[in-house]
Structure 1
Amino acid sequence: MPDPARRPPLIPLDDALARLLAHARPLERTEQISTFDADGRVLAQDVVSPLRVPPNDNSAMDGYAVRAADVTAPGVELPVSQRIAAGQAGTPLVAGTAARIFTGAPLPAGADAVVMQEDAEALDTKASDGGERARIQAVPAAGQWVRQAGEDVAQGAAVLRAGQRIGPAGMGLAAGVGQATLAVHARPHVALFSTGDELVMPGDVAPQSMKPGSIYNSNRFFLRALLQRLGCMVTDLGIVPDNRSATLAALQSAAEAHDLILTSGGVSVGEEDHVKPAVEQLGALDLWQIALKPGKPFAYGHVRRGEQQAGVGAAHFIGLPGNPVSSFVTFLVLVRPFLLKLQGAAHWAPAVQMARADFAVTRADKRREFLRVRRNAQGGLDLFGNQSSGVLTSMHWADGLVDNPAGTTIAPGDTVRFIPMAEVLK
């Protein structure tokens, strides 16, 4: 057993994150995909618009296109010279006339305003040429209800930047400038496995038949879902037995075809914790033990690929603690930004809000702590009663985390740093 007095000091979280991200060089692989399939992907190239959006001045309302100078007072009657629907091009508007126009239709040359149909009246009386007439009941200002050409997107503008993670609005924006396909960074290939002879898969053993000391493997389920939400291609290697040879074999196999190996459990200092020494045998550990609560036994390193993969370096390795809350929190705080940067994302830090604590933390911890909290009806934050690293109920109950600095107590009414769960789960 290692001498606790000789262990290196815990690494501050900010230092650990900086060192971790320094290793997360964006994958060189890119691919061209349909814009339909781009949700959640990270752009590899800027999207530059070849056209203006909208391409022409157009009507924001159903109504009548007019020259503002022709309507000097309410009640002016104008002959209706043409009808313009969306997708049609009208003819230049003759002075002293109006054009019946519909939302999205191009404004005819000469018109500079639109009177919405609620402020106009179609008359039964005919114009001198037998055409329709309209009474304009409101005096329009020039530019009224007109969408200007290019007011959304200018021609030549970069509407989306490389490094942006695309969402539904970005997909629509890309399609709106004519992009049927997009260049994106490749999805990271991640091998996932858990260690522990105590782990059992739901469905394999009924609850009443569980052996003493056995537990169901909850980590495997939420880690796989978290990886998939980040766009990763996941290979689920299941549960690896608690012995050195099985751990070495799993790591070697996973390194050959994956960018990252993510494990849960086995990175502490117990005699049955085989992952850490196995990684050191097959590669190296660059980070181990973070000043973080929950989640101290976090590990980062690399596993060399075999001779058949000579020249292609190594796979990243991240070892998460086995306790479910520790595993969940370290994924959100450390693994998530690592994977986003690996995909070429320019931004990975979640938005932090300042919020009022409606709870107390009377004992300061030596480590930076992430507390499971939930907003209440008064706009403050309530604390889950049991903050143990084994109580997964707290993660399900919470809608956010309080990032509490080391050595800090919290009194009711204090302002704290709140990270909404929606920010780190999207």
Structure 2
Amino acid sequence: MTEIDIVVIGAGAAGIAAARRLGELRATCLVLEAAAVAGGRCRTDHGTLGIPVDLGAHWLHSPRRNPLIGLAAATGARIGQPLETRYSANGSWLSDEDAAACVAHVDHCFDRIAAATQDGAVADLFADATSPWHAAFLAEFAAKQGLAPEQSSILDFARYPWEGDDLPVPDGFGTLLAGLASGLNLHLATPVRRVDWSERGRLRIATDQGDIAARAVILTVSPHVLGSGIRFDPPLPDWKRDAVAALPMGHCNKLALRFERPVFGDLAPCLVMPLRGARESVEFVLREDCRDSAVCMVNGPFARELAAAGAGAMRDYVLECLVEMFGSDLRRAAAPESVFVNWDADPFFGGCYAVARPGRADMRAVLAQPVADRLFFAGEATSPEFMGDVHGAWFSGIAAAEAAAASGQ
């Protein structure tokens, strides 16, 4: 049986950050990743369309406080410029006046959440909403949160510091994360099935490739995996399982298309949100890096429903949205290949990112707390401030690594 000081479970942003920090602290560690590639929910498909397509995370948020900005620069990764956001309705761009009214209402709603002092469901704040632009707020909320306002904690959302422009990574966010994992003691395609912490002073981690003994473990997997993907012997304490249950996974699934000739006219690269009612939260990244491409992000409960219908149904829906905006010639210009990802159906994730249930905003801090000074936890779900973000996961991985290393001194 292999023996190691610290095992890191998961090679997403939190796991990569933890392993890099443990290396700086001269602690020996092994990273176990269930998937065949590193990056977690940061993965880039380069082959299907002949261009980089991010399957998961797309944006560098909060650039002034995001350590991945500096790491990207150090590795030579390109960082793009912020994209203009445009709105359409019924196939036409909103007028300047309507767009301003729409943005003003959406901003007002988010400001109202930020000013709240008591927890509950976000929907409770807007029971009296009458604005004709409220459906736009509901769509944008689902895009940011992955769940409906009825399912989301007020204070959890309010704690996120919205600041600065969102920056794309033209060659792929997943490409950046994979580069940052280079040189780590990393075993891919090695799902962890069981963590036995019954023996004092030693853990036994059971994988498909054999057992590993360790002094401590850092679990960077999603709440979905903590709750149903890994068996713990003995079971995790009730307070920890309660935190896991309080942080379900939201929904954001993607489909990307390439076009064999220009179809967007003189449109500059942009983020487009077609206003299709409160139920359908849809965003498009069009012409990123001046490519003839469209990446569609479908969000919230509608994303789960549409992705469950399969790649064909989602492609049809995406083309329907685009044809409404740009005309039927676009359908004929679409290459036959498409990139489709359904994070809800991936057993190693179970969704896009964790969302606190109404009244459970404090559960992220509880999820982050170690168990018996041997089981440590990291990942975006544990971040009290940058929840749902790659850099939130990164910060949490560093904190867990420092705590795990200190526990052995």
Which TM class, normalised by the smaller chain length?
under 0.3
Task: Return the structure number with greater helix share.
Answer: 2
Q: Structure 1 length normalisation: TM-score?
A: 0.20
Task: Return the structure number with greater strand share.
Answer: 1
Decide which structure has the larger Cα Rg and report it. Answer: 1
Q: Structure 2 length normalisation: TM-score?
A: 0.20
Which structure's relative contact order is higher, taking Cα pairs within 8 Å and 6+ residues apart?
2
